[in-house]
């Protein structure tokens, strides 16, 4: 049976246009989706849009359009952005779709039947931009601790979810499943939060109407987070397509930003437990980008538009930068200077030059055909390179298991540099021994072939271009992973061609 892998991004609010933060989460999910496909998994990769709630209703009113018109126009932008960033999602869900509403109705009804939803009264502070309820204690100078904006006092009839009863079982789940919350610092944060005691959660509102009505009590709409989280179930056929649901659920991985950790690691598993559904296997929270050292905001006008960056500097270059610049999980700073410097030094100089000099030498010394190696010419330098490459596969797999993209790229670039150093040490242009020269050229082609596989999840187009120059079939789809990363003796006879620089330099 094929192994499956189900990965999700958060679904994005439609009251904002896509920026680097949204691109970050989605490219991150794309990287692991592509890696898992290379490793033979049947991958379901979901992204989409979160379209209900007071925030969207307000934004639409300000723009003097209906909420669905606002949603439709922002969805268009996402649907243009994802192909531009080479995102390989297999589903795009909108919370205004029928299949989503069916799923929300069902989970609500199941949780209600279970006795975990009751009608009460709600009085508290609410931050509309963050769609978050806050206690008096959480306020900072009377304002929202997250966005520092004004909060509103709300008293209304509301349904509550008995979150307070789930603390112990959540702690137990976290303890029994190391790696459920990553990075580890986030796990501690959530464990501490749960241990301070959970309050029941208001899960319906009566003060606005843009949402999914509570079954049997339509003057209430379902709280936007209860609604939104359910998208992860709806996409895989819940509640009507049992076969599909069993195939993909529980999700292997929810990738999210650190700001929405609590929703995914406290509320979500509690809702699922109440509905007697399995909990996701992993939630990974990444950090936030600042821009030139400052918080990104519409009012400062420093919002980074991923469309503009990808068009000007290249999709692969942008994707590479996101994971090369900052460890995934930590906060980072975006600047055009840093992007250019990564492109020029590590893409153009290190990898691009390695390819172009290797191809040039194979053309010059062997008429463009990769020669076989000669066993007797394998010396100390060759063995070092071979050993280094043979350790790569298992170390990269372990790093991917924890979404340690930063170290994956480190491992890859270590090999790129080793190969460049190898060329420098061997000086093939001075080599008079024909066997030795063949062996060197063979090793360069083989190493580049392996590198084309490992860079593929990050830079799918560059991987294909590299393979074309090496005379390999561009796509890795359907290829056997182990064959593709095997080294010696697998590139004989390939006909290389000189192409455009893989990564043009930028000023
Ligand atoms: N709609 C909710 C998610 C519901 S999931 C069931 C939501 N949407 S959002 O559009 O506001 O944010 C989506 C993602 O973008 C979050 O993971 C958030 O962390 C990420 N980012 C928003 N700004 C960011 C940065 N400046 N840097 C990195 N990521 C950031 O939350």
Same domain, 281 and 427: no
Separation of alpha carbons 36 and 23, rounded Å: 20
Q: β-strands 4-13, 253-257: how paired?
A: parallel
Per-residue pLDDT tens digits for 64-97: 999 999 999 999 999 999 999 999 999 999 999 9
pLDDT-derived band at 212 (thresholds 50, 70, 90) equals very high
Same domain, 102 and 230: yes
Same domain, 57 and 125: yes
Structure tokens at 202: 């208001």
3-state DSSP assignment of residue 133: strand
Ligand 1 centroid distance, CA of 201 (Å) = 21
Q: Which atom of ligand 1 is nearest to the CA of 16?
A: 10
The b/e string for 245-284 (b: 16+ C-beta within 10 A; e otherwise) is: bebbbbbbbbbbbbbbbbbbbbbbbbbbbbbebebbebbb
Q: Which atom of ligand 1 is nearest to the CA of 232?
A: 6
Mean pLDDT of the chain: 96
From 9, 10, 53, 288, give the residue whose CB has the most ligand 1 atoms within 8 Å, as the site to mutate.
10
Burial of 206 (0-12, 13-18, 19+ CB in 10 A): middle
Task: Kindly report the protein residue whose alpha carbon is nearest to atom 27 of ligand 1.
Answer: 288
Give the domain CATH number at 274.
3.40.50.620
Same domain, 266 and 351: no
Same domain, 222 and 340: no
Q: Which of 247, 267, 287 is the last residue of a domain?
A: 287
From 9, 12, 272, give the residue whose CB has the most ligand 1 atoms within 8 Å, as the site to mutate.
12
pLDDT-derived band at 235 (thresholds 50, 70, 90) equals very high
Determine, yes or no, domain membership for 434.
yes
Ligand 1 centroid distance, CA of 10 (Å) = 7
Q: Which of 272, 287, 302 is the last residue of a domain?
A: 287
**pLDDT score recorded for residue 2:** 86
From 21, 103, 323, give the residue whose CB has the most ligand 1 atoms within 8 Å, as the site to mutate.
21
**pLDDT score recorded for residue 207:** 83
Task: Kindly report the protein residue whose alpha carbon is nearest to atom 8 of ligand 1.
Answer: 12
Separation of alpha carbons 313 and 328, rounded Å: 21
Task: Kindly report the protein residue whose alpha carbon is nearest to atom 5 of ligand 1.
Answer: 10
Give the domain CATH number at 434.
1.10.730.10
From 259, 264, 290, give the residue whose CB has the most ligand 1 atoms within 8 Å, as the site to mutate.
259
Give the CB-side neighbour count of residue 195, counting CA atoms within 13 A.
10
Phi–psi pair at 474, nearest 5 degrees: -60, -45
Q: Percentage of residues in the chain with pLDDT exceeding 90?
A: 90
Q: Percentage of residues in the chain with pLDDT exceeding 70?
A: 100
pLDDT-derived band at 361 (thresholds 50, 70, 90) equals very high
From 8, 9, 25, give the residue whose CB has the most ligand 1 atoms within 8 Å, as the site to mutate.
25
**pLDDT score recorded for residue 239:** 98
Residue 305 has pLDDT above 80, yes or no: yes
Q: Which of 287, 314, 349 is the last residue of a domain?
A: 287
Separation of alpha carbons 155 and 29, rounded Å: 39
Task: Kindly report the protein residue whose alpha carbon is nearest to atom 13 of ligand 1.
Answer: 12
pLDDT-derived band at 413 (thresholds 50, 70, 90) equals very high
Residue 145 lies in domain? 4-287
Ligand 1 centroid distance, CA of 257 (Å) = 6
**pLDDT score recorded for residue 6:** 98
**pLDDT score recorded for residue 124:** 80
Task: Kindly report the protein residue whose alpha carbon is nearest to atom 6 of ligand 1.
Answer: 229
From 257, 264, 289, 322, give the residue whose CB has the most ligand 1 atoms within 8 Å, as the site to mutate.
257
**pLDDT score recorded for residue 1:** 74
Q: Which atom of ligand 1 is nearest to the CA of 296?
A: 26
**pLDDT score recorded for residue 134:** 85
Per-residue pLDDT tens digits for 147-195: 999 998 878 899 999 999 999 999 999 999 999 999 999 999 999 999 9
**pLDDT score recorded for residue 24:** 98
pLDDT-derived band at 421 (thresholds 50, 70, 90) equals very high
**pLDDT score recorded for residue 16:** 87
Determine, yes or no, domain membership for 318.
no
Same domain, 374 and 453: yes
Distance set, CA 145 to CA 25, 96, 135, 151, 294 (Å): 23, 30, 11, 10, 18
Determine, yes or no, domain membership for 308.
no
**Torsion angle of alpha carbons 16, 18, 21, 24, nearest 10°?**
150
Ligand 1 centroid distance, CA of 147 (Å) = 13
Q: Which atom of ligand 1 is nearest to the CA of 257?
A: 19
Ligand 1 centroid distance, CA of 457 (Å) = 22
Least confident of 130-139, 250-259, 317-326, 353-362: 130-139
Same domain, 269 and 205: yes
Host H or E run for residue 434: helix 434-455
Ligand 1 centroid distance, CA of 11 (Å) = 8
Q: Which atom of ligand 1 is nearest to the CA of 22?
A: 15
**pLDDT score recorded for residue 298:** 82
Residue 430 has pLDDT above 90, yes or no: yes
Same domain, 180 and 99: yes
Task: Kindly report the protein residue whose alpha carbon is nearest to atom 15 of ligand 1.
Answer: 22
Task: Kindly report the protein residue whose alpha carbon is nearest to atom 17 of ligand 1.
Answer: 257
Determine, yes or no, domain membership for 299.
no
What is the distance of C-alpha 217 from the center of its chain?
38
Ligand 1 centroid distance, CA of 329 (Å) = 14
pTM of the complete model: 0.94
Structure tokens at 470: 């090496």
Residue 476 has pLDDT above 80, yes or no: yes
Task: Kindly report the protein residue whose alpha carbon is nearest to atom 24 of ligand 1.
Answer: 21
Question: Number of folded domains in the chain?
Answer: 2
**pLDDT score recorded for residue 18:** 94
Determine, yes or no, domain membership for 221.
yes
Same domain, 273 and 143: yes
Same domain, 444 and 355: yes
Determine, yes or no, domain membership for 326.
no
Q: Region 386-407: what's the mean pLDDT? A: 96
Q: β-strands 201-202, 204-205: how paired?
A: unpaired
Cβ < 6 A, ligand 1 pocket: 10-13, 21-22, 24-25, 50, 228-229, 231, 256-257, 259-260, 288-289, 296
């Amino acid at each position: 049976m094929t192994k499956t892998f189900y990965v999700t991004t958060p679904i994005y609010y439609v009251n904002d246009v896509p920026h680097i933060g949204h691109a970050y989460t989605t490219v991150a999910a794309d990287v692991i989706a592509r890696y898992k496909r290379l490793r033979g998994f049947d991958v379901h990769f979901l992204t989409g849009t979160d379209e209900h709630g007071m925030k969207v209703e307000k934004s639409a009113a300000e723009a003097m359009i209906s909420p669905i018109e606002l949603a439709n126009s922002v969805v268009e932008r996402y649907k243009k952005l994802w192909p531009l960033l080479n995102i390989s999602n297999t589903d795009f869900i909108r919370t205004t779709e029928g299949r989503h509403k069916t799923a929300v109705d069902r989970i609500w009804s199941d949780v209600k039947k279970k006795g975990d939803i009751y009608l009460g009264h709600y009085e508290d502070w609410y931050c509309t931009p963050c769609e978050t309820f806050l206690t008096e204690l959480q306020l900072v100078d009377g304002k929202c601790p997250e966005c520092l904006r004004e909060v509103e006092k709300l008293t209304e009839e509301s349904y509550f979810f008995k979150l307070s009863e789930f603390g112990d079982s959540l702690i137990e789940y976290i303890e029994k499943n190391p790696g459920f919350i990553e990075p580890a610092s986030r796990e501690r944060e959530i464990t501490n939060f749960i241990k301070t005691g959970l309050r029941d959660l208001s899960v319906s509102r009566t003060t606005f109407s843009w949402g999914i009505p509570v079954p049997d009590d339509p003057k209430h709409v379902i709280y936007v987070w209860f609604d939104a989280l359910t998208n992860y179930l709806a996409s895989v056929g819940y509640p009507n397509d049992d076969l599909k649901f069993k195939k993909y659920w529980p999700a292997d991985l929810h990738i999210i930003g650190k700001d929405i950790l609590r929703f995914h690691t406290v509320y979500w598993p509690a809702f699922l437990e109440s509905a007697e559904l399995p909990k996701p296997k992993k939630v990974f929270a990444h950090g936030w980008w600042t821009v030139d050292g400052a918080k990104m905001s519409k009012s400062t006008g420093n919002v980074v538009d991923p469309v503009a960056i990808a068009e000007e500097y290249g999709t692969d270059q942008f994707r590479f930068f996101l994971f090369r610049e900052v460890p995934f999980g930590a906060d980072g700073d975006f600047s055009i200077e840093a992007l250019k410097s990564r492109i020029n030094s590590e893409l153009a100089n290190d990898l691009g030059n390695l390819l172009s000099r290797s191809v040039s030498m194979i053309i010059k010394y062997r008429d463009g055909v990769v020669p076989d190696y000669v066993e007797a010419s394998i010396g100390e330098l060759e063995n070092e390179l071979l050993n280094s490459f043979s350790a790569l596969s298992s170390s990269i797999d372990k790093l991917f298991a924890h979404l340690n993209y930063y170290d994956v790229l480190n491992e890859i670039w270590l090999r790129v540099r080793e190969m460049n150093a190898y060329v420098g040490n061997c000086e093939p242009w001075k080599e008079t021994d024909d066997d030795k020269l063949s062996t060197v050229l063979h090793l360069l082609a083989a190493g580049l072939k392996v590198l084309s596989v490992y860079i593929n999840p990050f830079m799918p187009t560059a991987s294909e271009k590299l393979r074309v120059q090496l005379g390999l079939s561009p796509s890795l789809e359907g290829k056997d992973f182990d064959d593709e990363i095997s080294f010696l003796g697998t590139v004989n006879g390939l006909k290389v061609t000189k192409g455009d620089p893989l990564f043009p330099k930028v000023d």
